[in-house]
Amino acid sequence: MSSFIIETKDLYKIYKDQASEVHAVDGVSLCIAQGEFTAIVGPSGSGKTTLLNLIGGLDTPTAGSLCIDGEDISRLSSRELIDFRLHHIGFIFQSYNLIPVLTAKENVSFIMDLQGRKRRDADSRSMELLDAVGLGDRADSRPAKLSGGQQQRVAVARALASKPRFILADEPTANLDSKSAANLLDMMERLNKQEHTTFLFSTHDPRIMAKARRIITLEDGRIVNDIVKEG
């Protein structure tokens, strides 16, 4: 059994049309261990989001292997992949993706409802997580009544609700003001250190890069640098 949560080997995602091929991810091999706080960085078009989507099972690779806890998820059927994502992976998107008609508490518990968790357990964990992100007093508020920073904190709580093996965060601070972004990053860093929650970011944000303990740089779909910070 591997000690890594995520392992990719010679991973490719190639988009083809009649005139050309685009290697969005071009032979990427990397390993992510439990408890990492890692940023994938690079210019627009470098393959950051495509790589995150492959790791999250939101897209399928053209070639190569992609193992989560030793299981090659590229070999799973669509139905198996949906179930795998539901129980193993948490997602945070830059657009929040909250359900407008649900309250903050209901948005957090939604994943647990899909998992078939008991209502009492789902309600208890939802409140525990909303308290952890500083929004226990806004549990009954719908997204339209929350600021962007508050909505993104609800999204973090939702990502944690299923107790995933790791969280993928695609430009999570892109739509936030400086103060909200700083607060969100402090909160995720605290969760990482206290709960050993693994975070893998795709980002342009220098604030995330400053806090990340490992920075993987992509260019043209390839890893050109992989730096682990000392300390």
| pLDDT tens digits, 123-160 | 999 999 999 888 999 999 999 999 999 999 999 999 98
Per-residue pLDDT reduced to its tens digit, 55-67? 999 999 999 999 9
Tell me what pLDDT residue 74 has: 86
pTM for this predicted structure: 0.90
Task: Place 177 in a pLDDT band, splitting at 50, 70 and 90.
Answer: confident
The pLDDT of 177-186, averaged and rounded, is 88
pLDDT at 13: 96
Q: Which of 17-21, 37-41, 108-112, 167-171 has the lowest mean pLDDT?
A: 17-21
- State pLDDT tens for residues 73-126: 988 898 999 999 988 999 998 888 899 999 999 999 998 999 999 999 999 999
User: What are the chain's domains?
Assistant: 4-228 (3.40.50.300)
The yes-or-no verdict on residue 2 having pLDDT over 70 is no
Predicted confidence at residue 34, as pLDDT, reads 92
Q: Per-residue pLDDT tens for 212-222?
A: 999 999 999 99
* Percent of the chain's residues with pLDDT above 90: 68
pLDDT, residue 194, reads 84
Q: Residue 43 has what pLDDT? A: 92
Rounded-to-integer distance, Cα 92 and Cα 34, Å? 18
> Tokens for 207?
């604030």
pLDDT band for position 38 (50/70/90)?
A: very high
Residue 1 has pLDDT above 60, yes or no: no
pLDDT of 205 = 92
Mean pLDDT of the chain: 92
